[in-house]
Amino acid sequence: LGSGCGPKATGAVRTPEQQKGALQGRLARLPSSVDPRRTWARSRILRALGRQADARTEIEASVSAAREKLDWSALMLLWRELGEIEVEEGKTERALETFGKALEAANALGDTNARARALIDTAWAFALLGHIGQADEAATEGKVLGGDAVTSDPPSSERLAAIAMRLGNTEEAIPLYQRAESLYRAGGDDASAARCAVHAAYLTWRERGDGDPLARMRSRVDAVDDPEAAMLLQLYDSERALKGSDYPVCESKALEAVKLADLRNVRRSAKIARVMAARCGQRNGNLDSAARMAAEAGAIVEEELIQVVGDVPRQELGFEAFLIYRLLFSLQVGSGTDAQGLQQAFMTSERA
């Protein structure tokens, strides 16, 4: 099974409505089934449409069918997809458990390559949860165990890049993203290739000050159906504008990133985009809009806190909440001195 079932590029820039229509058309041509490969392909399209709950329902039905047949290869494929859905839903601890199921199955089967891929998946989840030491250990074990088989697997290469990025190893992350991009493109998954290309271009700008790769991304991300790469580009362009003190562009790009993150229904990205919109709106003098974005980001991080039980992720999310509510407090104080505004600011300071 290749990656060619992912959302494809059309070669022409289209509106979000046209992209959504193309995805819906492809979904209609792929009837639902418990067949694992068809379920996986439908899940990719449903996720691009922001319908993670529907994708989860179909995956879980296919998992039940695969269990009855003791089809371990299918189960590992489905668990990997389910874990990705759970990450997008902001349920990363649950995703860690799901990836762990694939790891246990690979261990039981003695499948070295599958075990290596599952180790990389668990490392990625550990990194997202703030368990940096465990992420580094699992990723290292996966690389040693799998060798070229790991770096030749597009999701593994992308996740190794994300882990390196999380660890601050930008120069290591860039070629890994570039390799993942090449592998996805070779497999016909243009949307995932575009996502990796945007990440690599952003890190190139941040590490080396070269913004040209990011500037060349616009037509490419608009030519794929999945809005995720376009959302990332808007977010990264917003950061570039903030650094260049171009606050109107910074705010407009961040607000567009918010729209696309909501369309794609990726909770972590929706939170980050709102924080950027709040920061840019504050610098641009739009305090009410900025306060609304900060309040919405605070609501998302509180949703995330409900989803986790581990001490480390709770501490990390708690610190995020503190920073967001501190920003919101400054916006509420700065936007007016009416009694209601001051009361809101006081309540915000208490939450922070």
Identify the CA nearest to 79 among candidates 68, 90, 67. Answer: 67
3 state DSSP class of 9: strand
Distance between CA atoms of residues 11 and 222, nearest Å: 9
Identify the CA nearest to 118 among candidates 137, 140, 103, 98. Answer: 103
pLDDT at 237 over 60: yes
What is the DSSP secondary structure assignment for residue 124, as one 8-state letter?
Answer: H
* 94 neighbors 86 (Cβ within 8 angstroms): yes
* 190 neighbors 9 (Cβ within 8 angstroms): yes
Span 145-168, average pLDDT? 94
Span 7-34, average pLDDT? 83
Q: Report pTM.
A: 0.90
Q: Which residue has the higher pLDDT, 5 or 55?
A: 55
Please report, as a single letter, which amino acid is at residue 322. F
Span 300-328, average pLDDT? 89
Q: 209's torsion region: left (phi>0), alpha (psi -120 to 50) or beta?
A: left
Span 321-342, average pLDDT? 74
What is the DSSP secondary structure assignment for residue 32, as one 8-state letter?
Answer: -
C-alpha angle with apex 187: 181 to 193, nearest 5 degrees?
A: 25
Tell me what percent of the residues of the chain surpass a pLDDT of 90.
Answer: 77
79-83, 90-94, 139-143, 316-320: least confident range: 316-320
pLDDT at 8 over 80: no
108-112, 189-193, 315-319, 344-348: least confident range: 344-348
Identify the CA nearest to 318 among candidates 327, 329, 306. Answer: 306
The mean predicted confidence, pLDDT, of the chain is 90
pLDDT at 159: 98
Distance between CA atoms of residues 331 and 324, nearest Å: 11
Contacts of 106 (CB under 8 A, 6+ apart): 76, 114, 115, 117, 118
Report pLDDT digits (tens) over 59-77.
999 999 999 999 999 999 9
Residue 29: both structure tokens together: 């041509």
Q: Mark out the alpha helices in 29-111 (DSSP H runs).
A: 36-48, 52-69, 72-88, 92-109
pLDDT at 36 over 80: yes
Half-sphere exposure of 55 (CA within 13 A, CB side): 26
Neighbours of 308 (CB within 10 A): 19
Span 203-231, average pLDDT? 94
The owner of tokens 């806190």 is 305
pLDDT at 346 over 60: no
Span 260-275, average pLDDT? 96
Q: How confident is the model at residue 2 (pLDDT cuts 50, 70, 90)?
A: very low
pLDDT at 321: 87
* 352 neighbors 325 (Cβ within 8 angstroms): yes
pLDDT at 344 over 90: no
Identify the CA nearest to 2 among candidates 52, 46, 41, 43. Answer: 41
Q: How confident is the model at residue 345 (pLDDT cuts 50, 70, 90)?
A: very low
Q: Which residue has the higher pLDDT, 219 or 156?
A: 156
Helix (H) or strand (E) holding 12: none
Residue 101: both structure tokens together: 């199921």
Report pLDDT digits (tens) over 109-131.
899 999 999 999 999 999 999 99
Furthest-apart CA atoms within the chain: distance in Å: 67
